[in-house]
């Protein structure tokens, strides 16, 4: 079937305070005029989303859609579970014990097959058009805008991602905070250089008040939206300082680090757990695990990064996150999404012992947040080269637009909305529609 693409589509105090400050200077658009095309009713089954970006494009055939074949290593230990789920117990030992909570979408596809464009598409649900990119915010920023920035910490957090799109024209309030993930937390939340903590805080408060007094004319009548956004972001950053509740979100102990794994994805999902359980503002948490561009030696244990290390690090961290959120009662209200930017070549490995980029088939895993687990939706053929069963009411491949609409719906966001008064005057659609495709939530994931 021929498918056409829709046309539109080390930390310093300064890094902590402003994150990607240059992007926040694009202006604040929190009061933009918004329209809804259809007046739909979002599901609203989740209050937070932990989005695990498998950067580099995870192989669907070696993760969530495994097949029997000579390409599998001898120790893959692929097992069948109820609901049509299949997993390698060698690659996913924890998730293999959590299949009742796991839902896998196996009939997904991407419009893109290049990393930069695929990442942009995955982060925004829009194609990477240079003329429009400056007004295409990350879906996390859209959710932050919809849910509001009313807590102690920013609503949009991101870890381990360098090529992050950010809030663009939505403004500084909805920019992602990109903190480190370390046991000691964020050192710049306090600066106890003047005696004890109380004396230091008092001196800091006096200095900040002096700054506000000096800047008061500009705060009352800023030159432009960019200056107003800058001041707003500064105020929010200051409110986080000398606050034990905020400090605790970004700290963890050696025991938990051992459970989640002393890895970038492990430490980041530990902070994500803390942020979700704290219920103090975070609604979208992006955690990126790099290394999935497995063109060469993907099962070669002499390599530093392999399918073994990637899956085991992911499994350990996500499995621990699920266990902890269940224990705290936050699992059912937290949507966890695992996906990369596209799939990888099916069947036998390439001549270098790896897999290359592949657009027609990919898999996405979901847990929590109202998702009914213990099953797979859709199916591919014996080599994972073609979709054989779409498995949902759309009767076509599930695209990133549909995944994004599903995330929006779970979080109570109307995916049909548009912002009609962007800085350029162009309309920004949360999800772009086309004459051929009615992109919408995959409601089947909720049972």
pLDDT at 18 over 50: no
CATH number of residue 253's parent domain: 3.40.720.10
Angle at 399 between CA 306 and CA 46, to 5 degrees: 85
Contacts of 439 (CB under 8 A, 6+ apart): 399, 401, 402, 405, 431, 432, 433
What is the structure's pLDDT at 37?
64
- 373 in a structural domain: yes
**Helix, coil or strand: residue 69:** coil
What is the structure's pLDDT at 200?
82
* Residues above pLDDT 90, as percent of the chain: 74
How far apart are alpha carbons 241 and 295 in whole angstroms?
A: 44
What is the structure's pLDDT at 234?
76
| Token pair of 26 as six digits | 């694009």
Q: Burial level of 420, CB count in 10 A (0-12/13-18/19+)? A: middle
Domain span at residue 437 reads 15-446
Report, as an integer, the average pLDDT of 196-211. Answer: 83
Please report, for residues 216, 225, 345, the alpha-carbon distance to residue 221 in angstroms, rounded to integers and kept in the order given. 8, 10, 57
No. of H helices and E strands in the chain?
11, 16
Contact 275/282 with Cβ under 8 angstroms? yes
- 7 in a structural domain: no
How far apart are alpha carbons 350 and 296 in whole angstroms?
A: 8
CA 404 from chain center: how many Å?
A: 11
**Length in residues, the chain:** 447
What is the structure's pLDDT at 17?
37
Q: What's the whole-number average pLDDT of the chain?
A: 90
Neighbours of 346 (CB within 10 A): 23
pLDDT in tens, 124-180: 999 999 999 999 999 999 999 999 998 999 999 999 998 999 999 998 889 999 999
Specify the range with the lowest mean pLDDT, choosing from 67-81, 232-246, 267-281: 232-246
Domain count, the chain: 1
Contacts of 290 (CB under 8 A, 6+ apart): 55, 56, 160, 264
**Look-up: residue for tokens 């991602």?**
161
Find, among 51, 63, 9, 50, the residue nearest to 362 by Cα: 63
What is the structure's pLDDT at 28?
46
- 326 in a structural domain: yes
pLDDT at 416 over 70: yes
Report, as an integer, the average pLDDT of 238-242. Answer: 86
Longest dimension (CA), the chain: 71
- 87 in a structural domain: yes
pLDDT range class, residue 229, cuts 50, 70, 90: low
pLDDT range class, residue 21, cuts 50, 70, 90: very low
pLDDT range class, residue 33, cuts 50, 70, 90: low
What is the structure's pLDDT at 391?
98
What is the structure's pLDDT at 13?
39
pLDDT in tens, 358-374: 999 999 999 999 999 99
**Look-up: residue for tokens 């800058």?**
230
CA 55 from chain center: how many Å?
A: 11
Nearest-Å Rg of the Cα atoms of the chain is 22
pLDDT at 292 over 90: yes
- 5 in a structural domain: no
What is the structure's pLDDT at 359?
97
- Find the DSSP H helices in 157-243: 197-220, 225-239
Report, as an integer, the average pLDDT of 245-274. Answer: 97
Residue 102 main-chain phi, psi, to 5 deg: -95, 130
- 8 in a structural domain: no
Strands (DSSP E) found in 300-412: 334-339, 343-344, 357-358, 362-367, 375-377, 379-380, 387-389
pLDDT in tens, 301-350: 999 999 999 999 999 999 999 999 999 999 999 999 999 999 999 999 99
């Amino acid at each position: 079937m021929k498918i056409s693409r829709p046309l539109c589509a080390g930390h310093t105090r300064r890094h902590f305070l402003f994150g990607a400050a240059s992007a926040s200077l694009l202006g604040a658009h929190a009061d933009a005029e918004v329209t809804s095309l259809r007046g739909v009713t979002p599901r609203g089954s989740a209050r937070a989303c932990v989005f695990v970006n498998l950067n580099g494009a995870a192989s669907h055939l070696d993760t969530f859609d495994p097949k029997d074949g000579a390409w599998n290593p001898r120790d893959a230990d692929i097992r069948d579970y109820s609901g049509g789920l299949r997993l390698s117990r060698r690659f996913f030992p924890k998730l293999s014990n959590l299949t009742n909570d796991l839902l896998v979408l196996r009939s997904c596809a991407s419009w893109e097959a290049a990393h930069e464009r695929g990442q942009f598409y995955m982060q925004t649900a829009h194609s990477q058009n240079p003329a429009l990119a400056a007004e295409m915010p990350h879906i996390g920023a859209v959710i932050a805008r919809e849910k509001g920035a009313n807590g102690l910490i920013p609503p949009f957090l991101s870890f381990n991602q360098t090529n992050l799109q950010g809030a663009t024209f939505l403004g500084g309030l909805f920019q992602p905070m990109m903190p480190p993930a370390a046991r000691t937390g964020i050192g710049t939340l306090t600066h106890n250089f003047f005696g004890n903590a109380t004396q230091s805080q008092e001196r800091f408060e006096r200095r900040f008040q002096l700054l506000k007094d000096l800047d008061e004319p500009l705060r009352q009548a800023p030159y432009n939206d960019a200056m107003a956004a800058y001041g707003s972001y500064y105020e929010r950053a200051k409110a986080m300082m000398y606050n034990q509740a905020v400090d605790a979100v970004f700290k963890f102990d050696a025991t938990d680090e051992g459970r989640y794994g002393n890895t970038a994805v492990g430490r980041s999902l530990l902070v994500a757990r803390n942020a979700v359980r704290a219920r103090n503002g975070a609604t979208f948490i992006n955690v990126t695990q790099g290394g999935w561009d497995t063109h060469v030696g993907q099962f070669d244990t002499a390599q530093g990064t392999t399918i073994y290390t990637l899956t085991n690090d992911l499994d350990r961290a996500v499995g621990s996150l699920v266990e902890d959120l269940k224990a705290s009662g936050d699992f059912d209200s937290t949507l966890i999404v695992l996906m990369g930017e596209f799939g990888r070549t099916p069947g036998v490995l390439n001549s270098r012992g790896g897999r290359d980029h592949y657009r027609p088939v990919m898999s996405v895993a979901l847990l929590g947040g109202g998702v009914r687990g213990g099953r797979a939706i859709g199916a591919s053929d014996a080599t994972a080269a073609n979709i054989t069963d779409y498995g949902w009411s759309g009767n076509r491949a599930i695209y990133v637009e549909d995944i994004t609409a599903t995330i929006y719906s779970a979080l109570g966001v109307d995916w049909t909305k548009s912002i009609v008064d962007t800085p350029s005057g162009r309309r920004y659609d949360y999800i772009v529609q086309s004459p051929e495709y009615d992109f919408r939530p995959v409601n089947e994931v909720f049972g």
